[in-house]
Amino acid sequence: MKKKVNVKDIMKKYIMTIIGCALVGTESVFLIPHKIVTGGFAGIANILYNALNIPPGISVFVLNFLVLAISFKALGKKFVLDSIIGAGLLSGFIQLFMLLPPITENILLSTIFGCIISGAGAGLVLAAGATTGGTDIVARLIQIKASHWPIGKIMLSISVMIILSGLIVFKTVDLALYGFLATIIYAMVIDMVFKTLNNNNLLFIITSEQEKIVSVITSVFKRGVTVLDVKGGYSGEEKGMIMLAIKRKEIQGCHNAVLQCDPDAFVIISRSEEVHGNGFKVYK
């Protein structure tokens, strides 16, 4: 049986991807004019533009296309096609924003705000379940051949090499230091945005009215549950424990529904870093 296509989810994914790519593309008015080289293909494009006057949007697209062509077999058709769409959007926005003047002449402000805005955009793209390609694909390909290397360290090593390449080309230590600062801010913002949009929780409900509560959760909140038999360590009383993953915005409503079924229910709410599976596709 073919899985039903959810048009609303697809629209949401591509709207978030477009907005995210537009935000990442603002590097053209913040970082590129000041020669601030960060890790990633945008950093390489920055070097090529300021050293050889090659349009950065074209550089980003060509680099992504080459890497994706190489990785087609290893990473799969769907991933590569999605990445080409993201890479194409990003390249277009980078080139479009090159028509605008720099936002500010202050290099520190450009570094901070440029990375906050572009990092937020990258986080939005990741939360949508999309990608703009880049050196993370290179890191994945390296890890396939060297699985004992942590992917985080591979990506960090690539970023360091790109920033040091900028130091060699521009021969300015200050720019390299700004590049490292920009990379740190960028990574922190991506992580913050991704976790905020993908903020899920686990509910553990210990109750003697498990059938009522399970019925409400599955029918009203459309969430699957896991039911376990538990026994109180002190009282020795046997009850049921219901476990489920739920969106943060649904917690209060679910909690209220549980208490209506069983005012004496014991409810534990625990934050979850990531939840994958039906209804929890990174961001929905």
Q: Is the pLDDT of residue 48 over 90?
A: yes
Which one, of 203, 212, 211, lies nearest residue 250 by Cα? Answer: 203
> Using one digit for the tens of pLDDT, what is the confidence trace for 3-36?
555 677 788 888 989 999 999 999 999 999 999 9
Residue 214 and residue 151 share a domain: no
Instruction: Say what the pLDDT of residue 152 is.
Output: 63
Contact 187, 232 (CB under 8 A): no
pTM given for the model: 0.73
Instruction: Assess if residue 1 is contained within a domain.
Output: no
Instruction: Assess if residue 58 is contained within a domain.
Output: yes
Boundary of a domain, candidates 172, 197, 222: 197
| Number of domains composing the chain | 2
> Using one digit for the tens of pLDDT, what is the confidence trace for 77-116?
777 777 888 889 999 999 999 999 999 999 999 999 999 9
Residue 216 and residue 173 share a domain: no
Number of H helices and E strands in the chain, helices first, is 11, 6
Boundary of a domain, candidates 147, 181, 197: 197
> Using one digit for the tens of pLDDT, what is the confidence trace for 123-139?
888 878 778 878 877 87
Burial grade of 179 (CB within 10 A; 0-12, 13-18, 19 or more): buried
Boundary of a domain, candidates 168, 197, 226: 197
Contact 95, 55 (CB under 8 A): yes
Instruction: Assess if residue 20 is contained within a domain.
Output: yes
Give the range of the structural domain holding residue 209, as residue numbers without chain letter: 200-281
Q: Which two tokens stand for residue 162?
A: 């790109």
